[in-house]
Structure 1
Amino acid sequence: MTFEGFPDEGLVFYEGLEADNSKTYWTRHKGDYDAYVRKPLLAMLEELEAEFGSAKVFRPYRDVRFSNDKTPYKTHQGAVVVQEGRGAGAWYVQISAEGLHVAGGAWRLESDQVDRFRRAVADDVQGSRLEQEVGRLSSAGFEIRGDRLSRVPSGYAADAPRVELLKHKALHASRSWEPTDWLHERRALDEVRTAWRELQTLNAWLADNVGATSKEPRRR
């Protein structure tokens, strides 16, 4: 498939879903979702696969079992590319009525991964590399986020180098674009590709220094 942009009808679909998040609306407009959201996203991911790897497209349905919010459908469509065999570090893309969103990094780390992350941050060489990369991404317009402690983690001094990074339990960088004309053109693919390339160094650092968890998968 060749990516030609995200049609405006896809954004209109999500505007309608935000106003009426019901099975009735979804059933009536599922053809719009398939044609104007899912199909162009799959086309984009197919063109990115050779460079970044195969993507997982998330289900459009919300898991409401443990949520007070029982609305059944997500008001965005996202996809993620995980570094095969590398553990931590992934690329993400999302389309919604708010526009286009891209991100990279680690959204959730298990306790053994958090321990390795903090040891690497405390290391003068690896910690400085991450600090420089986070600073570069921030200067380039990426927002740096991730779950973090309000206090310095146990075992580290309050005046430790890179103490703010030590507080992180996850770390990712993201960038968003509001709806604009180029979203409906091939330029959207170029913007995602360029952003994902910008995030390669962060993902490589996470893969090299954090890696995969040795813990059993969580069960609910």
Structure 2
Amino acid sequence: MSNVKFSKDILDFLKQLGNNNNREWFNEHKKTFKQLETQAKLANTQVFENLKKHDNVDNMKMFRIYRDVRFSKDKQPYKTHFGCSFHRKKPELRGGYYVHVQPNNESFIATGFWQPNKEDLLRIRKEFEQDDEEIRDIINDNKFKSVWGDFQGEELKTAPKNFDKEHPAIDLIRKKQYVFIKKYSDKEVASDDFLKEVDNAFKTVRPYFDYMSDVLTTNLNGESII
């Protein structure tokens, strides 16, 4: 699969779809869409195969192009991107990977914890309340930071219930999501090296996942809960 990639044709089609987001246009170009969807799936499968060489990922899910408009004010029927998630083997491993290909320099990869359930969120916050040194060492590592930058995602304006708003780790505790995002230009996405670049970025996040998996599979005393 050495020649597999997200081609410029994929980006061009998605751009056209953004300008013609209606069923009539889509049905007229559905044959082209199916060909490009297959290309995108092959590229995502290559990401999956690369991940399996250095992490225990057991599932990938490429999301459908069709939007669920039932409860949305935006009634455009189609997404203008290809998205795919990659799941680590649970319950012992936590976190996941995501690849998002969208034209106009809107592509990105993401990793971490997008919507942790309330039990996991509380466990993470309690860990940071007890000791935030290890997580800061990981996310402030020069190599890690050069690839992923800082935490992204939603956070509370003040402290969560039953947490001290003056706590030294309140900047971490008040977060509701613990994700990292890396953006890419159209030129980068269509390059021959993009899939390798994605894999190298995903490799860099491993210390973060190892730490968070350990937190979420133990209690505050370090005893296993799985």
TM-score (norm 2): 0.82
Structure 2 residue 133 is the aligned partner of structure 1 residue 131: no
Match of 2:172 among 159, 165, 171: 165
2:148 and 2:176 map into 1 onto residues whose CA distance is 22
The one-letter code of the counterpart of 1:25 is: W
The answer to whether the Cα contact below 8 Å between 1:78 and 1:94 also exists between their aligned partners in 2 is: yes
SS in 2 for 1:145: coil
Cα offsets for 1:32-57 (capped at 9, x unmatched): 33323442442342332532423111
SS in 1 for 2:172: helix
Cα offsets for 1:53-112 (capped at 9, x unmatched): 231111111122221111111111111111111464101111111343111001101111
Equivalent pairs: percent with the same residue? Answer: 24
The residue correspondences of 1:108-147 to structure 2 (distance < 5 A) are: 108-124=115-131, 127-136=132-141, 137-147=144-154
Partner in structure 1 of residue 77 of structure 2: 72
How much has 1:115 moved relative to structure 2? 0.7
Change (3 A) 1:183 1:122: same
The one-letter code of the counterpart of 2:20 is: D
Partner in structure 2 of residue 8 of structure 1: 8
Match of 1:179 among 186, 201, 206: 186
2:194 and 2:62 map into 1 onto residues whose CA distance is 18
Partner in structure 1 of residue 20 of structure 2: 20
1:202 and 1:45 map into 2 onto residues whose CA distance is 24
The answer to whether the Cα contact below 8 Å between 1:55 and 1:82 also exists between their aligned partners in 2 is: yes
1:183 and 1:95 map into 2 onto residues whose CA distance is 8
How much has 1:140 moved relative to structure 2? 3.3
Structure 2 residue 108 is the aligned partner of structure 1 residue 106: no
Most deviating of 113-122 and 184-193: 184-193
The one-letter code of the counterpart of 2:85 is: V
The runs of 4+ residues in structure 1 deviating greater than 6 Å are: none
Structure 1, unpaired ranges of 5+: 212-220
Most deviating of 49-58 and 167-176: 49-58
Partner in structure 2 of residue 202 of structure 1: 208
SS in 2 for 1:144: coil
The one-letter code of the counterpart of 2:27 is: T
The answer to whether the Cα contact below 8 Å between 2:40 and 2:82 also exists between their aligned partners in 1 is: no
Q: How many residues align?
A: 209
How much has 1:164 moved relative to structure 2? 0.7
2:208 and 2:104 map into 1 onto residues whose CA distance is 26
Partner in structure 2 of residue 48 of structure 1: 50
Partner in structure 2 of residue 215 of structure 1: none
Partner in structure 1 of residue 222 of structure 2: none
The answer to whether the Cα contact below 8 Å between 2:94 and 2:209 also exists between their aligned partners in 1 is: yes
